[in-house]
Amino acid sequence: MRLFAIALVAGLFQAASIAAPWNGEPQWWLQLLSLAALAWAVQQAPSWKQAGLLGWLFATAWLCGTFWWLYISMHVYGGLPSVLAAIAVLGLAAFLSTYYAAACAIFIRLDGQSGIVRALLFAGLWTFAELARVTWFTGFPWGAGGYAHVDGPLSVLAPWVGVHGIGLAAALLAFSLSLLGRREMLRSWGYWLAMVGAAGLLAACNMASVPRESETTQPRLPVALLQGNIPQDEKFEGGTGIPIALEWYGRQMQASQAALVVLPETAIPVLPQQLPAGYLDAMRQRFATGAQAALVGIPLGSFEEGYTNSVIGFKPGAEPYRFDKHHLVPFGEFIPPLFKWFTRMMNIPLGDFNRGPIGQPAFEWQGQRLAPNICYEDLFGEELAAGFTNPGSAPTILVNVSNIAWFGNSVAIDQHLQISRMRALEFERPMIRATNTGATVIIDHRGRVTHSLPRHTRGVLSGEVEGRSTITPYAWWVSRLGLWPFWLAALAVVATAAWRRKRAVTAM
């Protein structure tokens, strides 16, 4: 029971490390300590079955503690009965946790390794589980451990290996920390030399990590980011949220003097054909001349053709730009096979969208190339990287438009902010975020928030953003190879450990 309690508590602390409930900030040290606690507990397990159960309990607590706010979207705004909403959140977490259960069980089955191979085995299996959560069943990697390190010493790795490389390094460090309780390791000079060497390397990296100066593309671009704060339970209502949104966003676009105006996801909450006569034409005419442009979140399509969650762009002398969201949210934006009965129980408008392609062209304006992504698409850096294959057309500024109002005034806002900051670090690109309720911010190419609006307020964030054009090592290789290098590296470690285990058993 003691080991199960440790796994449960450690999992909750792992959730808190991504964005602490007390201040919304990432806690990199807590992520390492909580994962180290799991690694220690797994090593005490009397069997591989119990090790797997410990990993499952840890991950279920971690994931429930990370995305518990899905309950708000399903129950408060979707109308799903509270018991079913709670079961749905728990069920999703429990299912995703099987990846981590398998990782811990296989670790014990292949244990008996020595030295660095043992630590690499744990880190490789943990990375396998993280990659499975990114990839399988459309992927839902929200709350990956690497995001806790956006402000920590491991953040220097982001432009080289991205969030998953940081997660692998964190698993190595956490496993090393877990050995502190083992008497034979405390007496090992090799262990202490490795620990001191790792600490010294991290310190040297951070002391020398005055961030590489990316090449500036053009003078700063003045932007106005609109945050409407339309209540989610009114957003799609014809008598309340829709007229409020159309009036406020329309007025702000008319009044803005910024070179670029950005509206959040579904800021215009109805299809173009459902808008008042002349509304969209007036918007287009507003940006048909002069030196201003706009990016506007709006659903597009029809019942016959299907719908898309989209961004349209207006600028002088050009046809409207269009970006369609590619990575859709299960149940919220598309209905998985066999689950229509479940979504019928919820009141979610426009709940089954078509997908846009990966690598859609950027919106070019005043010498900048602005690449939109919608809501949690910025969780998938390997998909954003598709735009970086050709340096001549690579984005100079990333633009996220979101509506996190589905999840209330919860830690989801803080977690999503850390995700966007990690993308800025990986690609060394500024990220501007226009959201309905927060976090509406400007993030520079070093992952720092330079301008922000108070969340759950209605307002306009004005500031300037400086585009960048240098291609980071991570952007170069992940745009060409995807996540395969991580899969292959993890597979090589596990295969080596299995071979060593088999040879040891044969020699007995």
Catalytic positions are: 265, 325, 375
Per-residue tokens: 236: 């799609």
Q: What is the DSSP letter of 468?
A: B
Tokens of 273: 């054909």
What is the separation of C-alpha 489 from the centre of its chain, rounded to a whole number of angstroms? 23
- Cα–Cα distance for residue pair 141/361, rounded to 1 Å: 25
* Residue reference for tokens 């099987």: 98
Q: Is the dihedral of CA 154, 160, 161, 163 positive or negative?
A: positive
For the chain, what is the total number of helices (H) and then of strands (E)?
16, 12
For the CA atoms of 253, 254, 259, 262, the dihedral, rounded to the nearest 10 degrees, stands at 0
Cα–Cα distance list, 409 to 27, 196, 455 (Å) = 20, 42, 8
d(CA 489, CA 165): 11
Compute CA 150 distance to the chain's CA centroid, rounded to the nearest angstrom.
12
Distance (Å, rounded) from C-alpha 131 to C-alpha 125?
10
Report the side by side order of strands in the sheet with 363-365.
363-365, 368-374, 397-402, 431-435, 441-443, 449-452
- Please say whether the beta carbons of 405 and 269 come within 8 A: no
Number of residues written out for the chain: 508
CA dihedral sign, ordered 377, 298, 24, 100 = negative
Could you give the C-alpha distances from 157 to 100, 349, 389, 484, in angstroms and in order?
24, 41, 20, 18
Q: What tokens does 155 get?
A: 């953040």
CB atoms near residue 198 (< 10 Å)? 14
Q: How distant is the alpha carbon of residue 247 from its chain centre?
A: 32
Cα dist. 142→57, 343, 352, 380, 479 in Å? Answer: 18, 21, 21, 10, 21
The answer to whether 290 and 258 have CB atoms below 8 angstroms apart is: no
Q: Helices (DSSP H) in 20-139: which residue ranges?
A: 28-44, 48-67, 70-71, 82-109, 116-135
